[in-house]
A and B are shown apart, each in its own frame.
Chain A
Amino acid sequence: MSDRLSARSIWLAAWVPVAVLALAAPLSLEGFWLQTGLFAMAAAIGAIGLTLLVGTTGQLSLGHAFFVALGAYGYAFLAGPRDGDVAGVGLPAPLALVGAVALAGAAGAMFSPIAGRLRGIYLGLASLGLVFLGQHILHNAASATGGFNGRDVAPFEVFGFSFTATDPELVILHVPYGGLERLWYLGLLLVVLAYWYARNLLRGRPGRALVGVRDSEVAAAVMGVDVRRYKAAAFTVSSGYAGLAGVLLALAFGRIVPDTFGFVMSIDFLAMIIIGGLGSIAGSVAGAVIVTTLPLVLSHYSDALPFLAQPGESGVGAAEAARLLYGAAVIAVLLFAPGGLAQLLRPSRPSSANQGTGTFDRRRSSPRDQQGASP
């Protein structure tokens, strides 16, 4: 009992300052950091969704960017004005948000019959096909997406309170709250909801069923898990998460173009959850923050870093250094901690003997998130 109490107090001691900092951040941070934070929040939501699918259920997906694009464009389309130069429905923003998430989730459900037939790497590469198809559609359905040049994203407004503009005016502690500051709180709320939902999902019956599907489909089926249904559900939920990430990303960008949602984005999402540790929700959030902020921060401070070349000079520039460092970080994490950051945080966990069986479905350690109330 006392163990439990102390664990809880440690938990509180760790999280209360984080929460306070997160809530107070817009008071002192400048625009660049708020923007970076918003991108990281959007990425975190998407990464949680992907780790539910890849880490927990063992369904490799390289098509996450496609569903993120559906969310982003879905919101822009549903909330867009009817009389704009690209088509829109003109729904109120919160409705459009829900609609966009539902759209992405429905697309995931529609892909699940294909996904149900495929295993492991075949599934991953098939879902990669979705990304290229999605790019093609985004470029060609110009009346709804704006084509190559993209389209503007309608502002987010609830009962006349705008989250993306300065209407009505709001000043807290002498800090005027503009669009980014307000959006920050919307993002925080969405991240917390996403985190909480995923955690509850994994701790309950569905979570155990999904882990069962990952570890052995046959065994899970024997235990009474409807494998096909749970796989489809995992795809749907994961895509819904991707859609929500897309909405937040669209709001943070203000204008979306197809090239954002390409192959590279899918890869970045996969890198996030693997750096964070497959199946770990907290890990995927950490991975999302690292992968998203590293390049932005490096380019921001490029003029302060002596070894970087300025634009126009020959040598390694800031953007390139960020990419190189990103690649190196991926390699380093996987070489020295194949279980990702989540593994580093709990070093005492012995890995099981079930190593190197050669299928993607068999992971070698199951992260604590899926273990429920074990000590």
Chain B
Amino acid sequence: MPSRRGGLATLALPRGAAMNQLVELVVNGVSLGCIDALIALGFVVVFKATRVVNFAYGSLLLLGAYVVGRYHEPLGFAVAVLLAVVVTAAVAIGVGVVLLRRVRLADPGTLAILTLGVDIMLVTELTRRIGTDLLTTGDPWGAEVVTVGSVHIAQTRLAAAAVAVVVVAAFLIALKITDWGVALRASAERPATAALMGVRLSRVASGVWLLAGALAAMAGLFLTAFPSPGISGTVGLAALGAAVPAAVIGGLDSTTGALVGGLAVGLTATLAAGYQDHLAFLGRGFGGVAPYLVMLLVLLARPTGLFGSREVTRV
């Protein structure tokens, strides 16, 4: 985050400084957007394949961050991250397959509330376990800041961006060429037909929940690393608060949309926070609400998000 300057002082700054601030905000916004894209991807991929709005996603993220925070000291950072990914993916599969399969035929609203029940329990238990401890991720990047020219960015954010690019690229390739990817796309398009053609919907669903869990763990790690204060029970709600506008802006069943939406949310939030002196008439903390305003505007223009598939009405 840039240093806060007085409103009039910023207005009177020479053009170069204003430009620098803009570049710095955009760079930081994009790096935050990469994390948001990871979050949104996990949210969207579950919806795309199973039509479940996964409200437990925030607590899965918190779980990932918690495991890293609790075990990075005895196990070392890398092993702790691996453990976090495995644990979170396992819990996600548990939720997705064991719990939701029983009521697979119910309407999506019921399923969404079911995931909310899971979310309430997980968040309560994790918040209790965290208690008053100050958990940090213990990542090797620490509080280092990279300076290029006059642009400052935290190393964790660079790492996050790199990981996000690799993970997303791998996912998109897998979606394109692997059997599992083809099966996922087929079952998203026509579940009944896909099942008749020999696609095992249950296997696709497990894969999707596993992926969502793994993504949640990684996003949880980066969301709680350096510029943010640490791991607390509110991380889950914050993550859901980013995932929802990102997923809706992009379109709930579009993976491309999740990436675009994530970047849009990261940029909007960072820019609104960075220029809040100019936006003082909109009130303090406007950065947190700005993505929702963008979401509402996008929905007004395109009711199923930018890349979401349009609903066809059949009679």
- Measured CB to CB, the residues of A under 8 A from B are 54, 60, 114, 117-122, 124-126, 128-129, 132-133, 135-137, 139-141, 216-219, 263, 267, 270-271, 274, 278, 314, 316-317, 320, 323-324, 326-331, 334-335, 338, 355-356, 358-360, 362-364
Q: A270-B113, A324-B124 are in contact. Are A122 and B299 (CB under 8 A)?
A: yes
B-side interface residues, number (CB < 8 Å): 56
Q: A122-B304, A129-B292 are in contact. Are A323 and B124 (CB under 8 A)?
A: yes
Closest A residue by C-beta to B55: A267
Check B108 against A327 for contact (C-beta < 8 Å): no
Count, A-B residue pairs, CB within 8 A = 149
Partner of B252, one of A54, A122, A137: A122
- Which residues from chain B contact A141 at a C-beta distance below 8 Å? 283
Give, as a whole number of angstroms, the nearest-CB distance from A308 to chain B.
12
SS class, residues of chain B in contact with chain A? helix
Partner of B313, one of A125, A218, A317: A218
Closest B residue by C-beta to A309: B128
Check A334 against B283 for contact (C-beta < 8 Å): no
- Which residues from chain A contact B191 at a C-beta distance below 8 Å? 358
SS class, residues of chain A in contact with chain B? helix
- Which residues from chain B contact A140 at a C-beta distance below 8 Å? 282-285
Closest B residue by C-beta to A332: B117
- Which residues from chain B contact A126 at a C-beta distance below 8 Å? 248, 295-296, 299
Check A331 against B292 for contact (C-beta < 8 Å): no
Partner of A274, one of B99, B110, B305: B110
- Which residues from chain A contact B51 at a C-beta distance below 8 Å? 358
Check B118 against A132 for contact (C-beta < 8 Å): no
Closest A residue by C-beta to B114: A334
For the complex of A and B, 8 pairs with smallest distance between CB atoms: A140-B283, A330-B117, A327-B120, A327-B121, A129-B292, A331-B117, A356-B105, A323-B124
Check B104 against A356 for contact (C-beta < 8 Å): yes
Question: What is the CA–CA distance of A324 and B122 in the complex, to the nearest angstrom?
Answer: 8
Check A263 against B313 for contact (C-beta < 8 Å): no
- Which residues from chain B contact A317 at a C-beta distance below 8 Å? 128
- Which residues from chain A contact B303 at a C-beta distance below 8 Å? 117-119, 122
- Which residues from chain B contact A219 at a C-beta distance below 8 Å? 315
- Which residues from chain A contact B102 at a C-beta distance below 8 Å? 335
Closest A residue by C-beta to B295: A129
Partner of B107, one of A122, A217, A335, A364: A364
Question: What is the CA–CA distance of A339 and B281 in the complex, to the nearest angstrom?
Answer: 47
Check A132 against B107 for contact (C-beta < 8 Å): no
Question: What is the CA–CA distance of A270 and B113 in the complex, to the nearest angstrom?
Answer: 8
Check B53 against A122 for contact (C-beta < 8 Å): no
- Interface residue B18 (Cβ < 8 Å from any Cβ of A): no
Question: What is the CA–CA distance of A317 and B127 in the complex, to the nearest angstrom?
Answer: 12
- Which residues from chain A contact B106 at a C-beta distance below 8 Å? 334, 338, 356, 364
- Which residues from chain A contact B55 at a C-beta distance below 8 Å? 267
